[in-house]
């Protein structure tokens, strides 16, 4: 606690140089509050992993005391658990199924084995080992540490490539990786001794080593899942496009989960090597892969608790069926031996569970889900002061924010006041701030005049021109509409602005900073947030987590605009659904959450893709005031697409009309409504018959 104010001050000091005082205060208060919240979350997660560990330890130790063979089984259980938890860190969080993790266990096992086996044995097994390894004999614990470190480095190098891939292509690459590692272990005979067993490894693994490794694995995996980085990885699992548009650097976050996960699997691998005393490449191949995958999938790959429960459950099934399969006498009944019974039962269980509960027995539930409620309740009654204090801070935050918002609105009002102002503003981009103007200086140069400018954007899809020399501008505090018939290129333009598409031609700037060539996450971090035509929420994450993904990015990259997820939750009235998974919410609420997520990014420009789609008239009008409210509070510019002309005319201060990729008309709503080209584009014209009088557009919108 004592360190917190200091950090807050430092950050405030740093912010003061860049942004107006109100923003800085808001940023520091927000950061401090968030740090408190996150610390509490991590504490709860840590408590959960300790609780889980105590249960695992009780099971393992209890079972181990029953006898020698039970002790062996307990050790195998713990080793497998380390592997499964390691696999969970990557596959569970990123959603990318990895088949290569047993290979990292294998690499680590071999490194540790080769380093620690007696030189006497290596003289006969691998006398010609490269790097003079035949003459090296490290103590087992040191060899294990070296093995984990080296394996992690190898995994990191491979991860540079794998993190760039997603979905099935990533899985296929991990499959290839597994085959390559197997081939190397088998064929690099001078180092590994080849296909047959490498023996002479000091046997040091016991229940205590296993428990120690499980503890480390549990804490690492659970804290990672609860961390902001872990949350970002999970957001990429749920929706890569939405994640990157929320400022998440998909490749980097995935990379770190890969590295961490490989390190934990390496730890499992060295334990196996020093348990068996003799290892062969086939020990880290399909059989182990299927076993660990089955354990993870059975318990639920999204959660650490699921990984633990899956491992324990599968081990119980395996032991019980093995016992029955050997043909014991149970209650006087002589059961005939049945080879293969355990594989049969394990397979059947996997099939049943996958059909009955596709996300595993536990899904993403964690033990601390229960513990945290108890814990928080306890804090509230016993340590009421802490809670009260944090609530005071939140209130203070709200006040500061309010002031800041008021200030922003006050300064912002001057700019979009009249259509004329917008018209004259056309001259502004002619004198851009220059290519040297970086993001941070731009922010303190003119925080209130954040302007998005698109000039001459063209987008060709295999010869089809979706956008043709389209230009538009959005100013801070201005709500701009982009309308046009289906297929006019509206969403394409939004995708170009948010970096999902690289335009074939055109210039885009935000506050004079070029957006050309930037990736979606970079554009998001500069302050352009967006929603999607069909909602793209992180469905398996809670509403709070959805907001937190964007809010954490804002804290890291736009501290002056950042606000806490809690603040956004209350702003949108989401307190009741804060801990509900976004995917189960009604459609309308999902759309609101998506807007809230975009707002959580603290945007300078907010892009809304058909926000009114599927809403009735009353709801649309509510949305009008909602969007205005956001604009007023955030002081941001809004660019929105919609078919509902009534809605657009009511909301927007300036409108661009796009048809067949070209901007055919622009102006204030009244002008646009009367433009014959617009009417033609919406109604279609026959021959040269141009509409003499302008029909009333709102009526069209309702049609």
For 468, phi and psi rounded to 5 degrees?
-135, 100
For 481, phi and psi rounded to 5 degrees?
-105, 145
394 binds another protein (CB under 8 A): no
In whole angstroms, what is the distance from residue 546 CA to residue 418 CA? 36
Nearer residue to another protein within complex by CB, 55 or 668 = 55
Distances (CA, A) of 177 to 219, 237, 337, 443: 28, 22, 39, 45
In whole angstroms, what is the distance from residue 18 CA to residue 40 CA? 30
Question: Could you give the string, one character per residue 561-600, with x where binding to another protein holds by CB under 8 A and - elsewhere?
Answer: ------------------x---------------------
Q: Which stretch binds another protein (CB under 8 A): 63-71, 165-173, 253-261, 533-541?
A: 63-71
- 308 within 8 A of 218, measured Cβ to Cβ: yes
Query: Could you tell me the smallest distance in angstroms from the CB atom of residue 276 to another protein?
Result: 5
313-372 residues near another protein, rule: CB under 8 A: 313, 315-316, 319-320, 322-323, 325-326, 328-330, 337, 339-340, 342-343, 361-362, 365, 367, 369-370
278 binds another protein (CB under 8 A): yes
Q: Which stretch binds another protein (CB under 8 A): 277-285, 451-459, 555-563, 679-687?
A: 277-285
Query: Could you tell me the smallest distance in angstroms from the CB atom of residue 594 to another protein?
Result: 25
**Residues in CB range of 238: below 8 A, 6 or more apart:** 95, 537, 538, 539, 540, 541
Helix (H, G, I), strand (E, B) or coil at 583: helix
Query: Could you tell me the smallest distance in angstroms from the CB atom of residue 324 to another protein?
Result: 9
170 alpha carbon, distance to own chain's centre: 17
Distances (CA, A) of 198 to 114, 140, 187, 194, 565: 8, 15, 13, 8, 54
For the chain, the farthest-separated pair of C-alpha atoms sits apart, in whole angstroms, at 101
Nearer residue to another protein within complex by CB, 22 or 362 = 362
Joined tokens for residue 200: 């002479």
Question: Could you give the string, one character per residue 86-125, with x where binding to another protein holds by CB under 8 A and - elsewhere?
Answer: -----------------------------------x----
Nearer residue to another protein within complex by CB, 143 or 651 = 143
- 276 within 8 A of 61, measured Cβ to Cβ: no
In whole angstroms, what is the distance from residue 560 CA to residue 27 CA? 5
In whole angstroms, what is the distance from residue 301 CA to residue 127 CA? 43
Element spanning 452, H or E:
strand 451-461
Burial of 54 (0-12, 13-18, 19+ CB in 10 A): exposed
Query: Could you tell me the smallest distance in angstroms from the CB atom of residue 390 to another protein?
Result: 22
Nearer residue to another protein within complex by CB, 226 or 454 = 226
Nearer residue to another protein within complex by CB, 10 or 187 = 187
Considering only 114, 264, 276, 553, the residue that binds another protein (CB under 8 A) is: 276
**Considering CB under 8 A, how many residues would be counted as binding another protein?**
64
Considering only 2, 17, 69, 462, the residue that binds another protein (CB under 8 A) is: 69
279 binds another protein (CB under 8 A): yes
| 667 beta partners | 655
485 binds another protein (CB under 8 A): no
Considering only 5, 62, 123, 614, the residue that binds another protein (CB under 8 A) is: 62
- 593 within 8 A of 238, measured Cβ to Cβ: no
Query: Could you tell me the smallest distance in angstroms from the CB atom of residue 573 to another protein?
Result: 20
Nearer residue to another protein within complex by CB, 72 or 516 = 72
289-308 residues near another protein, rule: CB under 8 A: 305
Question: Could you give the string, one character per residue 178-217, with x where binding to another protein holds by CB under 8 A and - elsewhere?
Answer: --------xx-x----xxxx-xx--x--------------
Q: Radius of gyration of the chain from Cα atoms?
A: 30
Interface contacts to another protein, rule CB under 8 A: 55, 58-59, 62-63, 66-73, 76, 79, 121, 186-187, 189, 194-197, 199-200, 203, 272, 275-280, 282-283, 287, 305, 309, 312-313, 315-316, 319-320, 322-323, 325-326, 328-330, 337, 339-340, 342-343, 361-362, 365, 367, 369-370, 373, 579
């Amino acid at each position: 606690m004592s360190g917190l104010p200091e950090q807050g001050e430092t950050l405030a000091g740093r912010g003061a140089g860049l942004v107006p005082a109100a923003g800085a205060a808001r940023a520091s208060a927000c950061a401090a509050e968030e740090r408190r919240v996150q610390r509490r979350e991590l504490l709860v997660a840590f408590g959960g992993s300790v609780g889980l560990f105590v249960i695992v330890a009780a099971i393992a130790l209890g079972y181990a005391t029953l006898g020698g063979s039970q002790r062996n089984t307990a050790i195998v259980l713990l080793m497998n658990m380390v592997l499964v938890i390691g696999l969970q860190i990557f596959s569970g969080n990123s959603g990318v199924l990895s088949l290569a993790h047993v290979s990292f266990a294998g690499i680590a096992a071999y490194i540790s084995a080769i380093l620690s086996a007696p030189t006497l044995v290596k003289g006969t097994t691998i006398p010609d080992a490269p790097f003079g390894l035949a003459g090296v004999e490290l103590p087992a614990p040191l060899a294990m540490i070296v093995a984990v470190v080296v394996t992690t480095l190898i995994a990191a190098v491979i991860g540079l490539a794998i993190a760039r891939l997603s979905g099935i292509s990533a899985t296929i690459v991990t499959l290839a990786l597994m085959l390559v590692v197997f081939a190397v272990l088998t064929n690099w005979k001078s180092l590994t001794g080849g296909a047959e067993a490498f023996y002479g490894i000091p046997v040091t693994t016991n229940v205590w080593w296993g428990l120690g490794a499980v503890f480390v694995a549990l804490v690492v995996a659970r804290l990672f899942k609860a961390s902001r980085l872990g949350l970002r990885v999970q957001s990429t699992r749920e929706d890569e496009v939405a994640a990157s548009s929320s400022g998440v650097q998909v490749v980097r976050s995935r990379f770190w989960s890969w590295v961490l996960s490989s390190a934990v699997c390496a730890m499992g691998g060295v334990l196996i090597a020093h348990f068996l005393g003799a290892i062969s490449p086939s020990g880290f191949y399909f059989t182990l892969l299927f076993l660990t995958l089955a354990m993870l999938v059975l318990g639920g790959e999204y959660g650490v608790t699921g990984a633990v429960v899956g491992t324990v459950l599968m081990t119980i099934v395996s032991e019980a069926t093995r016992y029955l399969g050997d043909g014991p006498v149970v209650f006087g009944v002589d059961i005939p031996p049945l080879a293969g019974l355990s594989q049969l039962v394990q397979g059947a269980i996997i099939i049943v569970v996958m059909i009955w509960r596709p996300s595993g027995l536990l899904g993403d539930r964690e033990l601390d889900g229960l513990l945290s409620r108890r814990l928080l309740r306890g804090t509230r009654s016993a340590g009421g002061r802490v809670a009260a204090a944090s609530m005071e801070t939140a209130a203070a935050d709200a006040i500061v924010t309010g002031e800041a918002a008021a200030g922003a609105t006050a300064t912002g009002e001057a700019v979009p006041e009249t259509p004329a102002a917008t018209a004259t503003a056309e001259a502004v981009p002619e004198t851009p701030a220059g290519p040297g103007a970086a993001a941070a200086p731009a922010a303190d140069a003119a925080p209130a005049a954040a302007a998005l400018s698109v000039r001459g954007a063209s987008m060709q899809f295999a010869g089809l021109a979706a956008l043709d020399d389209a230009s538009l501008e959005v100013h801070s505090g201005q709500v701009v509409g982009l309308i046009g018939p289906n297929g006019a290129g509206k969403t394409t333009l939004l995708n170009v602005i948010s970096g999902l598409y690289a335009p074939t031609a055109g210039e885009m700037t935000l506050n004079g900073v070029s957006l050309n060539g930037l990736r979606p996450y970079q554009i998001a971090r500069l302050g352009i947030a967006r929603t999607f035509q069909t909602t793209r929420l992180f469905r398996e994450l809670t509403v709070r987590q959805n907001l937190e993904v964007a809010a954490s990015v804002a804290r890291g990259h736009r501290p002056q605009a950042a606000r806490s997820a809690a603040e956004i939750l209350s702003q949108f009235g989401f307190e009741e659904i804060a801990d509900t998974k976004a995917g189960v919410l009604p459609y309308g609420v999902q759309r609101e959450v998506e807007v809230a997520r975009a707002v959580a990014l603290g945007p300078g420009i907010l892009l809304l893709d058909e926000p009114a789609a599927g809403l009735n008239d009353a709801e649309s009008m509510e949305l009008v005031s909602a969007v205005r409210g956001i604009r007023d509070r955030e002081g941001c510019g809004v660019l929105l697409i919609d078919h509902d002309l009534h809605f657009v005319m009511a909301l927007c201060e300036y409108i661009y009309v796009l048809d067949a990729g070209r901007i055919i008309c622009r102006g204030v709503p009244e002008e646009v409504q009367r433009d014959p080209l617009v009417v033609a584009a919406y109604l279609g014209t026959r021959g040269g018959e141009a509409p003499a009088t302008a029909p009333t557009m709102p009526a069209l919108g309702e049609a």
